[in-house]
Structure 1
Amino acid sequence: MRSWIVRGLGMAVLHAAAAVALAKVTVYQPTDLTVLTVVVLALLVGAAALWSAIDAWLGLDDRGRVWFIAALVSGPVAGLFTVIGKSLLVDQTGLSALGSALTGGAAFTALLVLVPAGLGLFVGTRIGGQGRSEEDSGQFSSAEPAG
């Protein structure tokens, strides 16, 4: 299976579960959401950053493109899963919510995956580069003949 499918669907399920959980909490405690919303957003950002940093540290091939496509996939899929989850578990949300979930909600989710993933790729590359020798990374030093 392509790695962007796993990352995109994984992040979509995580974002949809967080949105449905926040909606469920809103039903019972509509005024006490500020701290919970910040914590949930921090966990979502941390998950994308950590997963992409691990990919960079392990040296996943074409990891920037993988995370870019995963972010684009996770947006609309998370919007669809959020509408389905809210309709089944929270308040019988209908098809009228699907339009905004697939446009603005999808764009927000894609950015909430893409930006931390870019940061995670940057950090993971820096961490991964320090622990490897030149032979492990496939680079030749200037003293060795190439060929």
Structure 2
Amino acid sequence: MNAWLVRGLGMSLVHVVFRALLGAAIAQWPLQGSTLRWSSLVIVVVVALIWGGIDGIRDRRAFPEPEDGADLTVVWLRAGIVGGLVAGAASWLLSLIPALELTQQGLFFEVTSGAAFTILLIFVPAMLTVTVGRFFVSREQRKNGTAPQVPSHERRREPVPVGDGHDSPTGQHAYVGADASVADSDAPTTSFPAADPGSRP
């Protein structure tokens, strides 16, 4: 099962369960309705915060390089959409049962405005803690010296002059670089005629 689907169904389940508990609690303590609503809202947000933080920590530990990590923005956006739609539809269906009072709104409201609000409750907190989790893992890796290093074959090594210029037949410095041991077979070559010893004065 896809990661976003698991998260979306899980968050929708949390949302529906606490809406059901909220309805039962308000029926029992009608004067505490405002406090109970805020409490259930906070619980749903906290679950999204915790789940997003776990995803961010696991992703950065598995992929120290940021560009190699999973696209958790898309994962949690899809999860929020699934969670909002499923939670809205399920709340409306369960409200048809007389013993349950999850919502007094119609199906259209629950899968549009209600679902949009639920998407924000899931997506925004999750992405906040994804970022925070990745940040703390990266800082821990830098502190412990386990941060990814640039591979040796990608390091740029500048040529180093060897000698003072008098050691070379041409009077120029000889350079040793990263690829000094590999001759350039395509480089142009020039042939010079051998000097005649008899022509010397």
Q: Report the TM-score, using the length of structure 1 for normalisation.
A: 0.84
Matched residue of 1:33: which SS? helix
Aligned counterpart, 1:145: 153
Deviation at 1:103, TM superposition (A): 1.1
For each residue in 1:69-119, what CA deviation from the matched residue of structure 2 results, as whole angstroms up to 9, or x when unmatched? 10111111000111123223415979x721111111101100111110111
CA pair 91-78 structure 1, distance change in 2 beyond 3 A:
closer
* TM-aligned CA distance change 1:130 to 1:92, over 3 Å: closer
Structure 1: which 5+ runs fail to align? none
Q: Which runs of 5+ in 2 are unaligned?
A: 60-68, 156-201
Q: How many residues align?
A: 144
Shift of 1:49: 1.0
Moved more, 25-34 or 65-74: 25-34
CA separation in 2, counterparts of 1:40 and 1:29? 14
Give the letter aligned to residue 128 of structure 1: V
How do residues 37-56 of structure 1 correspond to structure 2 at under 5 angstroms? 37-56=37-56
SS in 1 for 2:70: coil
Say which is worse superposed, 85-94 or 26-35, in terms of deviation: 85-94
Distance 1:9 1:83, change over 3 A: same
Work out whether 1:34 is the aligned partner of 2:34: yes
Given the two structures, how large is their TM-score scaled by the length of structure 2? 0.63
Q: For residue 15 of structure 1, what is the amino acid of its counterpart?
A: H
Conserved? CA contact 1:13–1:81, under 8 Å: no
Say yes or no: does 1:15 pair with 2:15.
yes
| Structure with more contact order per residue of length (Cα contacts < 8 Å, sep ≥ 6) | 1
% identical equivalent positions: 30
Larger Rg: 2
CA-based RMSD: 2.6
Which structure features the higher share of helix residues?
1
In 2, Cα distance between equivalents of 1:63 and 1:24: 35
* Residues in 1 aligned to 2:33 and 2:125: alpha-carbon distance in whole angstroms: 23
